[in-house]
Structure 1
């Protein structure tokens, strides 16, 4: 029997942006959230503060997010969507990249070490623990691992004997250790060493 949730379900964003103007509005809201988060701390992130930061009316924020928790939930989902988009865009930009360099790219980007990832730090991980349900973690795993599988299916030079289970295991290793790195907050030098060693581990497991 599943455990009873300790808190009521968190409100979700009212809608996902589809039109260009809506996407711009939501991205601007997220950008304002991050600026306040980094400058003033997590507790300073309020709907009123983001409205002042972005120049939007408070009512505009409520068109997309019913409350602060829904806004944070939307931002967490945005980080996942952004990673999938960047992984697939990188693969599309260089479809003939050989197997080993592609593994390195996947690991580096999934680790958040490519210099293009949205802000997601220790405090955001703690917020995610409070707002995400088991089904959301499962969906993130399925969508991200599926992106790895799609990209590597189209990558030339796959070694014999490397099956989908091996790729999923490597992906889980990368994602799991990234989350633990966020939890324990090692130094910048330690993070760089971890990322490099993880790339070599995955190359050893998937490229022979």
Structure 2
């Protein structure tokens, strides 16, 4: 694990408390993952937001890291949107500041990033796409709705075994303000804390 990422986890994530009401929101995803682990099945999680530019990517990346941190194998984390835009640059910057290695492998209006938590880890490939993009699974996955707009705007996710709303406030509200960096940092840490909690509850 990268040293900066280790420091982020130790100093800013593992010491955070999650309120009981929020644990109730997270529990369906704990149950879903645990059931798959018990049955020795591959676990596919698709984190879905409106634009697949901010919250869904943060959740995908932190969930994949949390699974590795707690040695939960056979898990694949994806993300998608109800429409395709681009991974917002501040998200990549925030994750890099928190210790991930960010490599831009294709530059365009919708750039593609390889995101790694250590030198030998398989990268998470980050780019904006619709939730039903061929890059994502077509069946046997849980759809985790990370924003209320996507949850309300997508009444049906084809192929999803389970639909689980775990919504977050959009850090986009800080864009163009002096506290943008801090808002993105705190949203990323909130998502990290909750993904780490979810995987810490899984027994193998």
TM-score (norm: length of structure 2) = 0.27
Which has the greater radius of gyration? 1
Relative to total residues, which structure has the larger helix share, 1 or 2?
1
Higher strand share: 2
Q: What is the TM-score with the length of structure 1 in the denominator?
A: 0.27
